[in-house]
Amino acid sequence: MTKLTHLTRGRVFPILALVLIMGCAPQPSFHGFVPSEAALAEVEVGRDTRDTVAEKLGRPGAAGLMEGAGWYYVQSDWVRRGWSAPVEIDRQVVAISFDSADRVSNIERFGIDDGQVVALSRRVTDTGPTGGSLLRRLFGNLGRFAPGLIDGG
């Protein structure tokens, strides 16, 4: 039995060490959806409407809060290492603005860079998407709240 115990112990420890090492490997996770550049190229500014954009790209997970506001496609990439909290490594936001006739007026793509929203590519104007201030407020207010606001005091 001593030979069997010795052989078993010799196999269990390397397997246990391998499991512990694998537990520390980075674990990526992806949330949301952003259309590819090829899919966005099919959307024509000034011609496509909300309905045709929905057919070509699908409806977004987020839309502007006001009537006639734009659509926002958002994707976040996270990585978890070991037992630490997940860290966001990339965020992409595609903002599609519509005019008063519900036609596409602008398409922009934003990314994450030091916690700031940065325009990566613009297809029409330099003024930004309609309701772009909403995006800036959403990302700008992350982490900016007072404890008194939570309990009403």
In the predicted structure, residue 110 carries a pLDDT above the cut 50: yes
Question: pLDDT, tens digit, for every residue of 55-67?
Answer: 999 988 766 555 5
In the predicted structure, residue 135 carries a pLDDT above the cut 90: no
- Rounded to an integer, what distance in angstroms lies between the CA atom of residue 52 and that of residue 151? 45
Question: pLDDT, tens digit, for every residue of 31-47?
Answer: 888 999 999 999 999 99
Q: Under the phi-then-psi rule, with left for phi > 0, alpha for psi from -120 to 50, and beta for the rest, what region is 42?
A: alpha
106 vs 25 pLDDT, higher one: 106
- Rounded to an integer, what distance in angstroms lies between the CA atom of residue 93 and that of residue 71? 10
Q: Name the least confident of 12-21, 24-33, 90-99.
A: 12-21
pLDDT at 80: 86
Question: pLDDT, tens digit, for every residue of 70-92?
Answer: 888 888 888 988 778 888 888 88
Q: What share of the chain is helix, strand, coil (3-state, %, to 5)?
A: 30, 35, 35
Beta-carbon contacts of residue 74 (< 8 Å; ≥ 6 apart): 32, 33, 34, 60, 61, 62, 91, 92, 93
The mean pLDDT of 91-112, rounded to a whole number, is 89
pLDDT at 25: 75
- Rounded to an integer, what distance in angstroms lies between the CA atom of residue 35 and that of residue 5? 57
